[in-house]
Structure 1
Amino acid sequence: MSIFEGFLSTSETLAAFSDRSFVDAMLRFEAALARAQAAEGLIPASAAHSIVGSCQVDLFDVDKIGRDSGRAGSLAIPLVKALKEAVGLFNPDAVPYVHFGSTSQDVIDSAMAMVTGEAVALVQADLARATEALLVLAQRHAATPMLARTLMQPASVTSFGFKCALWAAPLVRGMARLRTASERALQIQLGGAAGTLAQMQRQGRHPRAAVRARMAAALGLRDGGTQWHTQRDEWVALGCELALVTGSLGKVACDIALLSQYEVGEVAEPGETGRGASSAMPHKRNPVASMVALAAAHRAPQRVAGLLAVMPQQHERALGAWQAELAEWPQLLMAAHGSTRAMAWALPALQVDTARMRANIEQVRAGLPREAADEWFSPALAEDAGAQALELIEALRAQGAAAPAAGPAR
């Protein structure tokens, strides 16, 4: 992670996609594979015991595995080699059963699904906090008059509560879509070298489905019923939903940044010592949370474009396309959580200057003929907008309450 990116994300997401965390997830896959295969009689129980006992990330040189992956072309190859060496120290007879019947994409995709599940849960939690804060603001300021602006110019009078409810609406929809997409995408990957799990058979038995189901349950992933080595639609759909949420938060951040300009002064991000300070101008107070959310909204489309671009993958396993996808994916999650965390921090304590809102309306009224001022810029127009805000709040809360509980299928 570059020094130029770290402050745009969160420590939790950076940790989830760290080298150590990812190698640990790969080892959890290998341990679950051995347990499931032993339970189905595919490998000896003694071999599974040795493999599981060796799948401890503290036993491995994570940095070396990362360095060796460049030469091997896959992170899984040096990891499996190191795991076999570790197992062989205590039980040489178990070595042939390490990674048995699996392939590099199985372990890497499954590990990516595991760490992605952690990151998505963080995004969902902060998104819920940001959305609830907006709904509270919408209720509190349902009839607070403010200028509506179109093409960056005063247009008429709306209410700040209605504006907040409209900010919240795509976030409520986004939470529902993100929940559905994550439930479908966070699934076990298990197909073996050519996607058929041909090695997982003994004496006419084909316990492939049972092994996959056991592993999915153990790792907290969905069992999709087959492998998805080059069928990336549901995985990319999750990426698209993350980008949509990030874009919706970027819209909120854009409006807050504009409203917090000194010349407007209608809202401000909450104050905190050292936050938003200028290196040269002590009087400045920069909207840093909005900046982070806007940066994420600018970055996410490129990440999703990368995911969509590599969907045409060759035959049963891809050359180059899948590897490019792997490089794009963590960046998208880091941007998405950076955005949701920033807004979840700023919105609950957003400072609203209702007097300044009214003053800005009066300033526009003063420059217009009386009839035009009363038709377009009467503060009383906020009452109708407020009624619409209350209706929308009720609908959004009902929509949120009707959504199923968050989290991947187990």
Structure 2
Amino acid sequence: MPLTPMDSELFGAMFAHPEVAALYTDHAHLHRLLEVEVALARAQARLGVIPQASAEAISALVSDFEPDMARLSAGLLQDGVPIPALLAQLRPALPPAAREHLHYGATSQDIVDTAFVLGARRALAVLRRVLLDVGDQLAGLGRSHATTLMPGRTHAQHALPTTFGLKAAGWLSPLTRHLERLSELEGRLYAVSFGGAAGTLAALGQRGLDVAQALADGLSLSVPPTPWHTQRDTVLELSAWLTGVCTSLGKLAQDVILLSQSEVGEVFEGGGGGGSSTMPQKQNPITAELIVAAAGTAAGLLAAAARSGVQEHERGTHGWQVEWLVVPQLLGLTGAALGHTVRLLSGLDVRAGRMAQNVAASNGLMLAEALSFALAQVMPRAEAQQLVRSAARHAAGGEGHLVALVRDRLGARGADIDWSTVTEAHTLGVSADLIQRALDHHAHVRASAFPQPPSHQEIP
């Protein structure tokens, strides 16, 4: 196995989304670095800081520049950042008058951080699109299974009846909130990094802020109040958002794994799941397992991202490099988790019949709360709870249905109770309303992401 599985030809599809992975190759990264250098030269030329001819020469050179990767790698190892070695290859190919205007007034971190923002913006565009796809799939499940009865489980035990539609709505709601958080995050993250050697832009005199704004305009970014060389809060916010998405997807996938256990059998991955080399009967929930693995790994990477934010004075010593190790992996893992979730939901085998069987097999035990409230109409609530608790022990032992056992114990006192309402289908509370609220929230957020949102139908 390679050192980084997500970069592997063999393992890559398991741990990275292909569109995100394509954004984080060496050549893609170098292209973004050059993109920022060109944008800087053009911005300074527009302001008259450098000659227009110099900006044109820099743009022309970069358009077909092929870096010497071996020299870049050696320079990176020596300097700790790729910019000096990159400039050393670019400058000799420029006209002498333009050489001093390349990278004028900037520092290496300005270029690297701004290129990082450009890469993150493109990756997040992919993640937003796939996240919306997942939301649409879950909304469809919520709508179509709004009345599909199943056991609700707390502490891994049967609790009260619920519907699979409400479970899907519960998977959907946090993802909708993540879309809202992403919009908030982007307003802070998509900012140019431009502070010069020590964050004062001293090399540009009084034109520093003008150049920063022009550079930001050229790249469709904003200008933060102060340079953020050692202000890494937005990088941490991005890392936390990515981890949050993975965690929410991991919860969904963990539920699928539990629901697909042989003893439960309520949900299965499409296509029969993964096979075993020796046990032909196995249908392993491999796709769900990959999502859970991504969530667990992301949580560990987030801890490293948080520690990397503790940086020294105006330029850090090591936290920056930790970000290089962590954030691209988080982007790749989140893309993988989203892609796997699309695949999981696309073929999800929801077995409503087995859900109904599991409800029936509980012998009415999930009606214990409803029975306690019904009995409280004819006796003190404490006495009602004690009667139901005693009957529940016998129902659990296979001696009969809980409602029948309670009715036998009540005798004539149960004549005023409407027993037809003490059924699983009558104890769903406001489940339908809750599902609709989740669908409406998703539709509203989706409409803000696309001018023409998909049509929305009420649940039955």
Q: CA shift at 1:382, angstroms? A: 6.1
8 Å Cα contact 1:176/1:403 also seen in 2: no
Pair 1:303 & 2:273 matched: no
* Distance across 2 between alignment mates of 1:97 and 1:377: 81
1:199-348 superposed matches below 5 A: 199-201=203-205, 206-271=206-271, 276-348=274-346
* Distance across 2 between alignment mates of 1:278 and 1:119: 35
8 Å Cα contact 2:43/2:218 also seen in 1: no
Give the direction of change, closer, same or farther, for the CA distance of 1:148–1:373 in structure 2 (3 Å limit).
farther
Give the structure 1 partner of residue 72 of structure 2.
65
Give the direction of change, closer, same or farther, for the CA distance of 1:156–1:372 in structure 2 (3 Å limit).
farther
Pair 1:125 & 2:123 matched: no
Give the direction of change, closer, same or farther, for the CA distance of 1:297–1:374 in structure 2 (3 Å limit).
farther
Give the structure 1 partner of residue 89 of structure 2.
82
Give the structure 2 partner of residue 43 of structure 1.
50
Give the structure 2 partner of residue 31 of structure 1.
38
Q: CA shift at 1:362, angstroms? A: 1.6
What amino acid is the match of 1:241?
Answer: W
Flag structure 2 segments of 5+ consecutive residues without an equivalent: 7-11, 365-394, 407-420, 452-460
Give the direction of change, closer, same or farther, for the CA distance of 1:377–1:315 in structure 2 (3 Å limit).
farther
Give the direction of change, closer, same or farther, for the CA distance of 1:170–1:335 in structure 2 (3 Å limit).
same
8 Å Cα contact 1:242/1:336 also seen in 2: yes
8 Å Cα contact 1:142/1:387 also seen in 2: yes
- Deviation readout 1:219-238 (Å, 9 max, x if unpaired): 23233243111111122112
- Deviation readout 1:51-72 (Å, 9 max, x if unpaired): 1112236521235423431122
SS of alignment partner, residue 158 of structure 2: strand
What amino acid is the match of 1:261?
Answer: Q
What amino acid is the match of 1:83?
Answer: L
What amino acid is the match of 2:53?
Answer: S
Q: 1:104 aligns with which of 104, 108, 111?
A: 108
**TM-score for both structures, normalised by structure 1:** 0.90
Q: CA shift at 1:82, angstroms? A: 1.5
SS of alignment partner, residue 100 of structure 2: helix
SS of alignment partner, residue 429 of structure 2: helix
What amino acid is the match of 2:344?
Answer: A
Worse-superposed segment, 47-56 or 137-146: 47-56
Give the direction of change, closer, same or farther, for the CA distance of 1:300–1:68 in structure 2 (3 Å limit).
same
Give the direction of change, closer, same or farther, for the CA distance of 1:224–1:251 in structure 2 (3 Å limit).
same
* Distance across 1 between alignment mates of 2:32 and 2:81: 15
- Deviation readout 1:152-180 (Å, 9 max, x if unpaired): 12222111111111111111111100221
Q: Percent sequence identity over matched residues?
A: 33
Per chain length, whose mean CA-contact separation is higher, i.e. which structure has more relative contact order (CA < 8 Å, sep 6+)? 1
* Distance across 2 between alignment mates of 1:330 and 1:316: 24
8 Å Cα contact 1:142/1:385 also seen in 2: no
* Distance across 1 between alignment mates of 2:277 and 2:87: 49
Give the structure 1 partner of residue 352 of structure 2.
354
* Distance across 1 between alignment mates of 2:122 and 2:277: 36
- Deviation readout 1:36-65 (Å, 9 max, x if unpaired): 111111111111111111223652123542
Give the structure 1 partner of residue 442 of structure 2.
397
Give the direction of change, closer, same or farther, for the CA distance of 1:245–1:372 in structure 2 (3 Å limit).
farther
8 Å Cα contact 1:47/1:93 also seen in 2: yes
Give the structure 2 partner of residue 145 of structure 1.
149
Give the direction of change, closer, same or farther, for the CA distance of 1:50–1:377 in structure 2 (3 Å limit).
farther
8 Å Cα contact 2:161/2:428 also seen in 1: no
8 Å Cα contact 1:257/1:287 also seen in 2: yes
* Distance across 2 between alignment mates of 1:162 and 1:132: 15
* Distance across 2 between alignment mates of 1:143 and 1:198: 67
8 Å Cα contact 1:138/1:389 also seen in 2: no
Flag structure 1 segments of 5+ consecutive residues without an equivalent: none
Give the direction of change, closer, same or farther, for the CA distance of 1:374–1:391 in structure 2 (3 Å limit).
farther
8 Å Cα contact 1:145/1:160 also seen in 2: yes
Q: CA shift at 1:381, angstroms? A: 4.2
Give the structure 1 partner of residue 413 of structure 2.
none
Higher-Rg member (1/2): 2
Q: RMSD of aligned C-alpha atoms?
A: 2.4
Give the direction of change, closer, same or farther, for the CA distance of 1:73–1:386 in structure 2 (3 Å limit).
same
Give the structure 2 partner of residue 380 of structure 1.
425
**Count of equivalent residues:** 397
**TM-score for both structures, normalised by structure 2:** 0.80
Give the structure 1 partner of residue 5 of structure 2.
4
8 Å Cα contact 2:58/2:98 also seen in 1: yes
SS of alignment partner, residue 166 of structure 1: helix
8 Å Cα contact 2:363/2:402 also seen in 1: no
Q: CA shift at 1:106, angstroms? A: 0.6
Give the structure 1 partner of residue 185 of structure 2.
181
* Distance across 2 between alignment mates of 1:187 and 1:54: 26
Q: CA shift at 1:266, angstroms? A: 1.0
- Deviation readout 1:105-127 (Å, 9 max, x if unpaired): 01110111111111111111111
8 Å Cα contact 1:51/1:94 also seen in 2: yes
Q: 1:134 aligns with which of 131, 134, 138?
A: 138
